[in-house]
Every structure is written in C-alpha cells, then in structure tokens.
C-alpha cells in the first residue's frame, strides 16, 4: 500500500485501464444486479471484491449490459470497470509470467462469494462500453412441466409448472411477436422512456432432459419484458388462450393485467452480443444519442433487467 | 382415517403392493440417504411424505439401490416400498380416470421438500427388489478445472479444482482399473464384507461447458469407492502421480493414505440397471445368497454409498 501512496503523490491522476469482465451468478440470494444500500446485490459484491483485490481506496463503479432483477441469474453478463493501471499491473500472480488479467481472474475467484463467478477478465478494446456498445442480449427461460423430468439440482434456475405445455403452440404464438414493435403491453412503463424494441428471436424447444426452454434475443429489453412475454406464452401453452392472443395484447400497446409476469427463478441472461472492435465506439455513440433524444433513463440501451 | 380403521378390523393383514419409486435429490442439505435419528435424510423425508399421502398409521420402510453418503446427489436413485393396496388405491386423483400411480406422483410432489423429487411411481414387477435385483449402478463425478467455465448455478453438484486436469492421462489411468478386482485399497474396510467389485466403466470426458466428468459404472460399490478412485485419478490429472499409480495402489489391496477421498459435492448417482422382468427374482436371490455367504452387511449388493 505504501508504494501506491507514493505513486499517487507523484502521479495524482493515474492512467485508467478499462477492463471487460464476464460474470455469472446464481441470482437466488441477490436483490438483483444494481447496488442498493442495505441489500445484497451482484454489483455490490463485485465492486467490493475488485476493491479488495486491486487495493483501491474506494470501489470503482461497474457498468453492466443487463441490469437483472432480483432472483434473475446470469451466465453471460458483461460489465466494464475503469481502474488505475498501476493497481491493475500490481495484482500479484502465481509467478512473474502471469499477465495481470490472469492474476486478477484468480484473485477474484477467492474474493467473491460462491454464487458469483468472474469467468473472464481482459483489457477492453478502444471504445468499448458494456452497456452502450451491446447490440443484443440473449436470455433463456426454463420451465419443467413434467414431474418425471424434475431435477432438484436445477431447481434454482427452472420454473416448475403443474400443467403440460404445448411447445408447438407457444412457438406459433412467439413467431407473431418478432420484429420491431412497441412492447408497452409487456413492460412496466417509465415516464419518457421508449418501449420500442426489436425482438430478434423468441422460440421454444425441449432439451434432452425434457425442459421447455425459451430463447429470447432482442436489441434491448424493457423492465420485466421477458417475464411478461413468457407469461403470455404459457397461457397459450396450456390452452387457456389462443395462439393469436399474445400478438393481440402486443397490438393493444397497453399494459394488460391479463398477462401474468412469471417468477424470476426461470430466467437467465445467457449472452450479450457486441459488434466488431472497430464499430464499438460508433455503436456506443449511437445508443447514447438515442437515450438523449428520448430524455429517458437509458432503457433504450437495454440495461434494464428483464 | 375412519375407513382405514374399519378396514383393518375386517382385514387385519391387507394385501401389500410393492411400488418402485424413481427418486432425484440435491444431497447438499441431507445427512445422506439412510434414515438416522435427529438427522435430515432423504429416506426420512421420503417415508414421511409417503405416510402422509397414503395416510399410513406408521411409515412404510423404503429400500434403495444405492445408500448415498451425506452430500451426494441422485438423479436416478431407485427404491421400493411395500404399502397396503387399499391405501394405494385410495390416493385421490385429479379425476377418476387417473391411475393411482399418477395420483401418488402428484401428491408426493406436494408433500416433499424442494430438494427431493419423485420422478416415477409404478407397481413393481414380480420379484423386484430395488437393492438386490440391481445389476449395475452408474455414478457421475463432475469437476470444473477452469475458472472460465465456472457456473455458479451448478456449484452444488460440481467440484471446483484449482489446477487444470489432463483428461487423456486420467483416462489412461482409469482404463487399467476396469474389471473384477479386490478394491480394498479404495474402500473403507468393514469387518467380514468383501471388497471385490466388477468395475464396468470408468472414463472421463469434457462436456460442452468444459467440465471434466467421470462416468463410473460397477455391479456395486463399496463405501467411498468412487470418491477414492476419483481422488487417485485427479492426482494423475494434475501430473502429481504417474498414469500407472492408481493401478499400483489397487494391486496393493490395502487402504492407501496417499489416496485423497474427494468431497461428496461432485458425486451424483445417475442410473441403476435392472435385468429383464423375468430375471428379477433370480438376480435378487443370487445377490442375497452372496450376502449370506460373506456374513457381511450386504455391501456386495451395492447398497453402500460411494
């Protein structure tokens, strides 16, 4: 620590390095991603671990691609953080040949609780912003509708559903929702923020163990959007609503109380897509500009948890 | 309950029906399969749920194929239980067309805690004994040796291992252990019980997510045998021991303190094999007879937890 103090006297504004972190977590015991005073959050745990391992005087703020809600999981969350380069370079490695990214990855594994894992650390390419550079987010929603397929080892990430689902009907209903629409009917409204999103994929399949799994990809998501879409589709899957119903709700463009928002347990952020490195800055610029035009809170960049 | 009392007066020894139950559990919060006073066990929870759903005056004892240790999981545990046919036939179903096995499956789902699931209920074929009719048990042991593959959603069933494993070397060492041997070197000794077992498969592979997974199949296992075998093979996998070492330990036929018994966390009983229905009784008879000859406690039928 003494070296750091000496350094900061000589070099009061140390050069910052932007790191990209790939993060996975079991959301069960978290009050979501976003740091909140008095709550256990993924962001809070991650910033605390980074401050410990990098010996920062105060936590460096992280920015993520998808601010997941309480109880929502991630395997492919991406975030960035700007840290002083001297602190990053000084992380002790197993031996002197270890690059700092490898050492930081190992140290974070020891500093984080078992329900959060950092799976990758690298210096971010120029112009990279975990939130504004992202071009799509992919979520999965997992449902077990067959007692013979119930796996207690996966109960934290799978919704148990008492009635069997017709996956073909759910796919027919899902297909009608693809493309760019105003998803206000499936979103919790926020003053001044757009609810127009481009839904790139929404499809269901059975995996080898019999689970019904939705694959949901969009440029960005509004708050609770995936869980409301899945709720509408489950109603189709059990025959309670016709295949045309979710598209009719969408066309209504008003939050519909007949749509059941399913529990967070089954939802996992699986992957975030970014453009090639030479387009990162342009993408981030465009996303930030859209945010300004809307005078919203940046939802259009898709940071809201689904 | 009044009907039951009346029934037992008229018919003091009600006909029994033997049920086969297929059971899955997350072993993390259990003191193993076998009921123990004052401990939370899978058998205890299952017998309590059966007594509730079938309205039995006292719990009916269950017999399982593999008595798993504390912390060991199962996806394919099999057990049998003999219950009065009138109690079984009287389980209320969703409608009158439901056979009692379907109704019992649904009722058990409601009566069991979330970390135990009964995945199948059926009337056992004649001669079926979950323990003595079984011809093989298949376990998996899962290891994550790469921080980039760490999945917090599977942390309850995967061992985290700090050093990378050479799966090819582990397979070469595993291959030398196949066949019928005295596995005393890998077993906790029990007075009078044989430690001869037939190891039918022991092989490692990487799954799509990068985990190293051992597949271990034997006619039966001694206590802690899988975990001791895996411990010896991990020492080969990190280059600490040569490929020939586990076979040399086996040939020593004495418990070797150099063999590290790995934690139960990574171990799951995946499947139990039975012969065709018309061979069930003969198989059970042979296994019981072997037990008597040995004057052991029945380990040779493979009920011991690995």
A-chain CB neighbours of B118 within 8 Å are 147
Across the interface, whether the CB atoms of B153 and A24 are under 8 A apart is answered yes
For A196, phi and psi rounded to 5 degrees? -80, 125
Across the interface, whether the CB atoms of A147 and B109 are under 8 A apart is answered yes
With CA atoms as reference, report the closest residue to A304 among A207, A190, A212: A190
Of the listed ranges A100-109, B1-10, B181-190, the one predicted with least confidence: B1-10
How large a percentage of chain B has pLDDT more than 90? 76
Q: Find the closest chain A residue to B119 by CA distance.
A: A148
Give pLDDT, residue A35.
93
Identity of the residue in B22, B118, B157 whose CB atom sits nearest the CB atom of A153: B157
Of B22, B26, B29, B69, the catalytic one is B69
Asked if A75 has any chain B CB less than 8 Å from its own CB, the reply is yes
Q: Is A166 domain-assigned?
A: yes
How large a percentage of chain A has pLDDT more than 90? 76
Mean pLDDT computed over A289-305 = 49
Helix %, strand %, coil % for chain B, to 5? Answer: 35, 25, 40
Mean pLDDT computed over B99-125 = 95
With CA atoms as reference, report the closest residue to B140 among B38, B66, B247, B34: B66
Asked if B161 has any chain A CB less than 8 Å from its own CB, the reply is no
User: Which helix (H) or strand (E) is A203 found in, with range?
Assistant: strand A196-206
pTM, to two decimals: 0.89
How large a percentage of chain A has pLDDT more than 70? 90
Question: Contact A201/A178 with Cβ under 8 angstroms?
Answer: yes
Both A268 and A209 in one domain: the answer is yes
Q: Is B293 domain-assigned?
A: no
Task: Give the residue numbers of A marked as catalytic.
Answer: 69
With CA atoms as reference, report the closest residue to B280 among B138, B132, B83: B132
Across the interface, whether the CB atoms of B150 and A75 are under 8 A apart is answered no
Asked if B115 has any chain A CB less than 8 Å from its own CB, the reply is yes
Q: Find the closest chain A residue to B114 by CA distance.
A: A152
Would you place residue B167 in the very low, low, confident or very high pLDDT band (cuts 50, 70, 90)?
Answer: very high
Both B172 and B65 in one domain: the answer is no
Would you place residue B219 in the very low, low, confident or very high pLDDT band (cuts 50, 70, 90)?
Answer: very high
| A278: region left, alpha or beta (phi > 0 left; psi from -120 to 50 alpha) | alpha
CA distance A156 to B28: 13
Domain count within chain A: 2
Both B250 and B146 in one domain: the answer is yes
Q: Is the pLDDT of residue A99 over 90?
A: no
What is the interface size between A and B, counted as CB pairs within 8 Å?
A: 72
To which residue do tokens 């007949």 refer? A258
Both B80 and B9 in one domain: the answer is yes
Asked if A155 has any chain B CB less than 8 Å from its own CB, the reply is yes
Both A266 and A195 in one domain: the answer is yes
Tally of residues, chain B: 306
Query: What mean pLDDT, rounded, does chain B reach?
Result: 90
Both A141 and A118 in one domain: the answer is no
Q: Find the closest chain A residue to B149 by CA distance.
A: A119
Question: Which residues does A133 contact at the CB level (< 8 Å), separation at least 6?
Answer: A127, A274, A275, A280, A281, A283, A284, A287
CA distances from B221 to B41, B184, B198, B305 (A): 20, 11, 9, 7
Asked if A30 has any chain B CB less than 8 Å from its own CB, the reply is no
Which residue did the predictor score with more confidence, B187 or B74? B74
Of the listed ranges A160-169, A195-204, A252-261, B33-42, the one predicted with least confidence: A252-261
Q: Is A195 domain-assigned?
A: yes
Both A99 and A208 in one domain: the answer is no
Q: Is the pLDDT of residue B190 over 90?
A: no
Domain boundary among A93, A123, A153: A123
Of the listed ranges A166-180, B241-255, B278-292, the one predicted with least confidence: B278-292
Identity of the residue in B117, B147, B150 whose CB atom sits nearest the CB atom of A150: B117
The structure tokens listed for B15 are 């006909």
Would you place residue A3 in the very low, low, confident or very high pLDDT band (cuts 50, 70, 90)?
Answer: very low
The sign of the dihedral angle between the CA atoms of B12, B14, B20, B26 is: negative
CA distance B97 to A266: 32
Of the listed ranges A130-134, A194-198, A266-270, B1-5, the one predicted with least confidence: B1-5
ipTM of this complex: 0.87
Both B114 and B161 in one domain: the answer is no
DSSP-derived 3-state class of residue B18:
strand
The sign of the dihedral angle between the CA atoms of A84, A89, A90, A94 is: positive
The structure tokens listed for B31 are 């003191």
CA distances from B202 to B213, B221, B229, B240 (A): 10, 13, 9, 20
Q: Is A130 domain-assigned?
A: no
Q: Is A259 domain-assigned?
A: yes
The model's pLDDT over A205-229, given as tens digits with 9 standing for 90+, comes to 999 999 999 999 999 999 899 999 9
Both A84 and A157 in one domain: the answer is no
Give pLDDT, residue B301.
41
Q: Is the pLDDT of residue B305 over 60?
A: no
Count of H-run helices and E-run strands, chain A: 8, 10
Identity of the residue in A109, A152, A153 whose CB atom sits nearest the CB atom of B147: A109
Across the interface, whether the CB atoms of B24 and A152 are under 8 A apart is answered yes
Q: Is the pLDDT of residue A81 over 80?
A: yes
With CA atoms as reference, report the closest residue to B68 among B221, B295, B193: B221
Domain containing A210 — which CATH number?
3.30.70.660
A-chain CB neighbours of B268 within 8 Å are 153
Asked if B208 has any chain A CB less than 8 Å from its own CB, the reply is no
Q: Is A146 domain-assigned?
A: yes
With CA atoms as reference, report the closest residue to A269 among A210, A231, A227: A227
Identity of the residue in A25, A119, A148 whose CB atom sits nearest the CB atom of B148: A119
Would you place residue B199 in the very low, low, confident or very high pLDDT band (cuts 50, 70, 90)?
Answer: very high
Across the interface, whether the CB atoms of A119 and B149 are under 8 A apart is answered yes
CA distance B5 to B184: 51
Both B104 and B185 in one domain: the answer is no
CA distance B18 to B132: 14
A75: burial class by Cβ within 10 Å (0-12, 13-18, 19+)?
buried
DSSP-derived 3-state class of residue A189:
coil
Q: Find the closest chain B residue to A161 by CA distance.
A: B109
Tally of residues, chain A: 306
Give pLDDT, residue B129.
97
Q: Is the pLDDT of residue B147 over 60?
A: yes
Q: Is B69 a catalytic residue?
A: yes
DSSP B245-268: HHHHHHHHTS--TTSPPPPGGGEE
Give pLDDT, residue B12.
60
The model's pLDDT over B258-289, given as tens digits with 9 standing for 90+, comes to 899 999 999 999 999 999 999 998 989 988 88
Identity of the residue in B106, B117, B152 whose CB atom sits nearest the CB atom of A152: B117
Give pLDDT, residue B290.
75
Both B79 and B101 in one domain: the answer is yes
Mean pLDDT computed over A117-142 = 96
Q: Is A298 domain-assigned?
A: no
Asked if B155 has any chain A CB less than 8 Å from its own CB, the reply is yes
List, in sequence order, the alpha helices (H) in B112-244.
Answer: 167-175, 225-237
Å between B191 CA and nearest CA of chain A: 35
CA distance A62 to A272: 16
List, in sequence order, the alpha helices (H) in chain A.
Answer: 2-10, 42-54, 85-89, 100-111, 167-175, 225-237, 245-252, 280-294
Both A258 and A140 in one domain: the answer is yes
Across the interface, whether the CB atoms of A120 and B148 are under 8 A apart is answered yes
Identity of the residue in B117, B120, B153 whose CB atom sits nearest the CB atom of A157: B153
Query: What mean pLDDT, rounded, does chain A reach?
Result: 90
The model's pLDDT over B9-38, given as tens digits with 9 standing for 90+, comes to 445 678 999 999 999 999 999 999 999 999
CA angle at A299 for the pair A181 and A83, rounded to the nearest 5°: 145
Give pLDDT, residue A5.
47
A84-87: list long-range contacts, CB under 8 Å, 24+ apart: A84/A14, A84/A15, A84/A16, A84/A17, A84/A54, A84/A56, A85/A14, A85/A15, A85/A16, A85/A17, A86/A4, A86/A7, A86/A11, A86/A14, A86/A15, A87/A4, A87/A14, A87/A54, A87/A55, A87/A56
B-chain CB neighbours of A118 within 8 Å are 147
B2-7: list long-range contacts, CB under 8 Å, 24+ apart: B3/B90, B4/B55, B4/B57, B4/B86, B4/B87, B7/B86
The model's pLDDT over A232-288, given as tens digits with 9 standing for 90+, comes to 999 999 999 999 999 999 999 888 888 999 999 999 999 999 999 999 989 899 888
CA distances from A65 to A220, A221, A299, B51 (A): 9, 11, 11, 50
Mean pLDDT computed over A20-27 = 98
Cα Dmax for chain B: 70
Query: Which structural domain, as residue segments, surrounds residue A61?
Result: 2-123
Q: Is A301 domain-assigned?
A: no
Question: Contact B218/B226 with Cβ under 8 angstroms?
Answer: no
Å between B149 CA and nearest CA of chain A: 7
Asked if A98 has any chain B CB less than 8 Å from its own CB, the reply is no
Q: In angstroms, what is the C-alpha Rg of chain A? A: 21
Question: Contact A223/A265 with Cβ under 8 angstroms?
Answer: no
Domain containing A56 — which CATH number?
3.30.70.580
């Amino acid at each position: 620590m003494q070296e750091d103090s000496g350094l900061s006297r000589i070099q009061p504004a140390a050069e910052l390095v932007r790191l990209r972190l790939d993060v996975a977590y079991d959301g069960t015991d978290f009050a979501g991603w976003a740091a909140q005073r008095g709550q256990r959050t993924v962001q809070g745990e991650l910033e605390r671990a980074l401050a410990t391992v990098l010996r920062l005087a105060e936590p460096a703020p992280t920015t993520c691609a998808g601010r997941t809600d309480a109880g929502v999981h991630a395997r492919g969350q991406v975030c960035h953080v700007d840290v002083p380069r001297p602190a990053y370079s000084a992380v002790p490695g197993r031996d002197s040949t270890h690059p700092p990214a490898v050492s930081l990855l190992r140290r974070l594994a020891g500093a984080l609780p078992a329900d959060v894992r950092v799976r990758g650390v690298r210096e971010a390419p120029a112009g990279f912003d975990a939130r504004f550079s992202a071009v799509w987010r992919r979520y999965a929603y997992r449902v077990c509708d067959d007692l013979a397929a119930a796996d207690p080892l996966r109960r934290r990430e799978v919704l148990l559903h008492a009635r069997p689902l017709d996956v073909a009907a759910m796919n027919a209903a899902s297909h009608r929702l693809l493309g760019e629409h105003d998803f206000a009917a499936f979103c919790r409204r926020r003053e001044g923020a757009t609810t127009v999103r481009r839904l790139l994929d929404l499809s269901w399949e059975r995996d080898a163990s019999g689970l019904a799994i939705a694959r949901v990809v969009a440029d960005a998501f509004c708050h609770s959007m995936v869980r409301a879409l899945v709720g509408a589709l489950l109603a189709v899957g059990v025959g309670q609503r016709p295949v045309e119903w979710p598209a009719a709700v969408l066309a209504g463009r008003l939050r519909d109380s007949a749509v059941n928002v399913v529990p967070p347990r089954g939802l996992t952020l699986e992957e975030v897509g970014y453009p090639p490195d030479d387009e990162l800055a342009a993408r981030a610029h465009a996303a930030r500009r859209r945010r300004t035009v809307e005078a919203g809170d940046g939802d259009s960049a898709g940071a809201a948890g689904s």
